[in-house]
Amino acid sequence: MDQSYRGGNRHDSSKKIRSVPVRLKAFQALERRLPEKHPKREHIERGRKNLLAGFAGERSLDYFLSCLRGETPYWIYHDLRLKADSRYFFQMDTVVLTPRFILILEVKNYAGTVHFDEFGQVTRLHNGHKTSFANPIDQVQRQQMQLEHFLHMHHFPPVPVFGLVVFSSPSTMLSAAGDTDKALNQQILKAEALPKRISQFNDHFTTPFLTPTQMTDLSSLLLNTHTPLTKQLLFTYGIPSSDLLTGIHCPKCERLAMERLHRSSYWRCPHCQHKEKEAYVDTFRDYALLISDRITNREARTFLHIPSERYTLRLLQAMHLKHTGSTRLRVYQLTRLLEGRR
């Protein structure tokens, strides 16, 4: 998830978390750890391409959002995934938070002609093929209710929440049947119309619902409760973790598995001969991306192919991870590795 702040200096240096790159990394990790002929390979490649396309669509909104007027402070969050209740999560592509209203933008980058009929069905015509889609208005209305509930649950004032469906590709043609037109216009728009629509919201909602402190509190709450969807990749594709290839992969050619040089702290790739001391860090990251953000010494030994408990302990300690539990049963928290740049 990515948070950015415009319209003031106070939070300009705010922390940025981008979960899309993390999700991309998870795809890359999965692809290098699946056997060459794994039946799900093609499916996963398609998933990665869709993710990249969606990411490009969301990014293209940034330009239009940057046209927003400066006098109202606002924050923008991308890819926010929050807990609706004890069991369910809801995800929003882009959220614009202001003291006076909140906008949820559901971003679609469909090519071709998108048609909304009077029954609420949505079809797309592209290169002579007709496909139907779940109605994005229903989707964004659901998110709207979930976000309102989330605000209520966390005792925030009832700031008005609106959902818009934004088509980010300039080449998309939108059409609607008869009477549906007008109603749709309220909620569906092309990205280039976004600055105008937001300024209409600005003119319409003049009363602030959130104080600057509540804005900051809500922002921290959103950032802290955000739960990126990474570990579910195996679940989504129905791949048991036992299908994954283990061992330390080569940071250079990505192949498995590196070998530890005798009496040395170096690892060497048997394929490209690349040598590296900290090659194991990337493998712990793969574990965090695909399996769990917690690991024990025993699990690390299996995944990294290291027979020695002592040596594994040294590697775990070298990464300065947070941990809980006493020596033998100690559980190491790998989350920090997902925030790194590598």
Binding site for Zn ion (CB under 5 A): 250, 252-253, 269, 271-272, 274
Classified as helix, coil or strand, 57 is helix
Classified as helix, coil or strand, 13 is coil
* DSSP conformational letter for 51: H
Minimum distance from residue 248 beta carbon to Zn ion (Å): 11
244 contact partners, CB below 8 Å, separation of at least 6:
30, 33, 34, 234, 290, 291
Q: Which is nearer to Zn ion, 83 or 252 (CB)?
A: 252
Runs of H (alpha helix) within the chain: 19-32, 41-65, 136-153, 180-187, 194-204, 212-225, 233-236, 279-290, 297-304, 309-318, 335-339
Amino acid (one-letter) located at 336: R
The structure tokens listed for 115 are: 């048609």
Minimum distance from residue 316 beta carbon to Zn ion (Å): 24
Minimum distance from residue 210 beta carbon to Zn ion (Å): 52
* DSSP conformational letter for 275: E
CA atoms of 144 and 25, how far apart (whole Å): 30
Minimum distance from residue 156 beta carbon to Zn ion (Å): 51
Q: Which is nearer to Zn ion, 252 or 330 (CB)?
A: 252
Q: Which is nearer to Zn ion, 28 or 187 (CB)?
A: 28
CB 166 within 8 A of CB 109: no
Minimum distance from residue 260 beta carbon to Zn ion (Å): 15
Minimum distance from residue 31 beta carbon to Zn ion (Å): 16
Q: Which is nearer to Zn ion, 259 or 339 (CB)?
A: 259
Classified as helix, coil or strand, 291 is coil
Q: Which is nearer to Zn ion, 81 or 268 (CB)?
A: 268
Q: Which is nearer to Zn ion, 52 or 253 (CB)?
A: 253
Minimum distance from residue 250 beta carbon to Zn ion (Å): 3
Q: Which is nearer to Zn ion, 253 or 261 (CB)?
A: 253
User: Per 3-state DSSP, what percentage of the chain is helix, strand, and coil (rounded to 5)?
Assistant: 40, 20, 40
CA atoms of 105 and 169, how far apart (whole Å): 14
Task: Please work out, in degrees rounded to the nearest 5, the angle formed at the alpha carbon of residue 143 by the alpha carbons of 157 and 193.
Answer: 95
Minimum distance from residue 105 beta carbon to Zn ion (Å): 42
CA atoms of 295 and 277, how far apart (whole Å): 21
CB 125 within 8 A of CB 117: no
Q: Which is nearer to Zn ion, 29 or 165 (CB)?
A: 29
